[in-house]
Amino acid sequence: MMAFAKKDVTLQVEKSISIAMKKYYHLMVAALLFCGMGLLTSCSNDDNSTDGLFEREMTEALNDAKTYGPQTEAFAKEVAERFNGCVTGINYKTRESATRKCKTDNCRPYDLKDLARTTIVAGWSSEEVQPAIDYLKEKAEERGFFGRYKHQTSDYGYWGDIVNLKYEKLMTEIQVKTYGMFYASQEEALVRSVIGDELYNYIREKSGVEPGLSHHYYEIMRADTSSAATIAHYKKLSIDYHYRCEHLDK
């Protein structure tokens, strides 16, 4: 009898220990999960998180654009006046637009080169506008803020030139266009305000086309829903449109 009693007590003790160990195990798991969730929450709200770093960098880049925008505009005006041209007011990319561009190009805010941009309009052909481009590049190099030069061409008629100015971490942009390319790429109100009613009316009469259709044709050609036939059709229209905007005496 005593042997059986001892055995029962032993079994009960082992059972109690097993139950206690299971409770301890579940408590430890719960504690770890709780701490893990706390860590995750902490990380998601941490100022050093990826999103936090990006947003701070975007704020700094946009502020730098506002700082160096006036210098960029003043330099563009200097060049435009020297070559009897015109210049648009400085234009700043919005936070939404800049963020979208970063996501599309998989880049950081300071990789964007057009957070502040302006356009010089001078000359009627590539030959006439080239001296302004050369002068712009030369003076930017002399003053220590030349960043990059790019000649833009396309297979649908549009072309233009870009000079980027380098200020510490940020680049700004000066585009250089002929009167015809500027007319083709902008809406009537902006074209009139920059080159004046007289030149606007001259281009409108000689070209026989309305302004600002360049981007419209481009958007149709790059749309995912556009068929090959549609793209070919608008490409032909675009080439003819840009030709007419530039070759006013033809």
pLDDT in tens, 58-83: 999 999 999 999 999 999 999 999 99
CATH number of 50-177: 3.30.460.10
> Mean per-residue pLDDT for 226-231?
95
Collect all residues with Cβ–Cβ distance below 8 Å to 178 and sequence separation of at least 6: 121, 122, 123, 124, 125, 126, 128, 129, 246
- Please give the pLDDT value at position 50: 72
Domain map (residue ranges) of the chain:
50-177, 180-250
- Angstrom distance (rounded) from CA 47 to CA 204: 54
Is 80 exceeded by the pLDDT of residue 46? no
pLDDT in tens, 79-138: 999 999 999 999 999 999 999 999 999 999 999 999 999 999 999 999 999 999 999 999
The whole model's pTM is what?
Answer: 0.77
- What percentage of the chain exceeds 70 in pLDDT? 80
Is 80 exceeded by the pLDDT of residue 143? yes
Tokens of residue 193, six digits: 């305000």
Mean pLDDT check: name the lowest of 37-41, 66-70, 76-80, 187-191. Answer: 37-41
Burial class of residue 24, CB neighbours in 10 A (0-12, 13-18, 19+): exposed
